[in-house]
Amino acid sequence: MTTLTHLECTQCGATYAPPAAPLSCPCGAPLLARYDLERARKNWNRAWLAHAPSTMWRYAPVLPLKFPEQAVSLGEGLTPLLPLARWGRNLGLADLWLKNEACNPTGSYEARTMSCAISKAKEDQSAAVSIAASGYPAEAMSAYAAAAGLPARVLLLDPVSEGLFLRCSAYGAVVHAVPLRSRDRTVGQPVQQSGCRDLGAFAEPYRLEGMKTLGYEVAEQFHWRLPDVIVCPLSHGMTLVGLWKAFEELDTLGWAGSERPRLIAVRAGARWSVSYASGETGGGQPMPHEPASWATGFPVEPSLGEALAWRTLTHSRGAAVTVPVVEIAETMYQLARIEGLLLGPEGAACLAALCRLLAEGLLVATQRILVINSGASTEDRLLKLRAREKVRPVSSRLGGLITPR
Ligand SMILES: [Zn+2]
Task: Please indicate, yes or no, if residue 82 is contained in any of the structural domains.
Answer: no
* Cα-to-centroid distance, 276 and ligand 1 (Å): 26
Cβ-contact 203, 23 below 8 angstroms: yes
Residue 196 DSSP SS3? strand
In a domain, 26, yes or no: yes
Q: Domain check: are 231 and 299 in the same one?
A: yes
Per-residue pLDDT of the chain (405 residues; tens, 9 = 90+): 899 999 999 999 999 998 889 999 999 999 999 999 999 999 999 999 999 999 999 999 999 999 999 999 999 999 999 999 999 999 999 999 999 999 999 999 999 999 999 999 999 999 999 998 878 999 999 999 999 999 999 998 777 888 899 999 999 999 998 765 554 444 444 445 568 999 999 999 999 999 999 999 999 999 999 999 999 998 889 999 999 999 999 999 999 989 999 999 998 888 898 988 776 655 545 455 544 444 444 454 556 788 899 899 999 999 999 999 899 999 999 999 999 999 999 999 999 999 999 999 999 999 999 999 999 987 677 777 777 666 554 443 344 344 443
**How far does residue 188's CA lie from ligand 1's centre (Å)?**
18
Q: What distance in angstroms lies between residue 189's CA and the mean position of ligand 1's atoms?
A: 19
Ligand 1: distance of its center to the CA of 297 in Å? Answer: 32
Give the orientation angle of helix 238-253 with respect to helix 306-315, to 10 degrees. 50
pTM of the model: 0.90
SS3 229: strand
Q: How far is the CA of 1 from the centre of ligand 1 (A)?
A: 28
> Do both 246 and 348 map to the same domain?
yes
* CA nearest neighbour of 100 among 271, 359, 340, 399: 340
Cα(25) to centroid(ligand 1), Å: 5
Residue 335 belongs to some domain of the structure: yes
**Can you give the residue range of the structural domain that contains 125?**
4-73+108-198
Residues, CB within 5 angstroms of ligand 1 (ion): 9, 11-12, 14, 25, 27, 29
The CA 32 to ligand 1 mean position distance, Å, reads: 11
Residue at which a domain ends, from 145, 168, 198: 198
Nearest alpha-carbon partner for 250 in 293, 287, 218, 279 = 218
CA 10–ligand 1 middle distance (angstroms): 7
Same domain, 163 and 26: yes
Quote the number of domains for the chain.
Answer: 2
Q: Same domain for 339 and 263?
A: yes
- 97, 112: one domain: no
38 found inside a domain = yes
The CATH number linked to 219 is 3.40.50.1100
Both 242 and 334 in a single domain?
A: yes
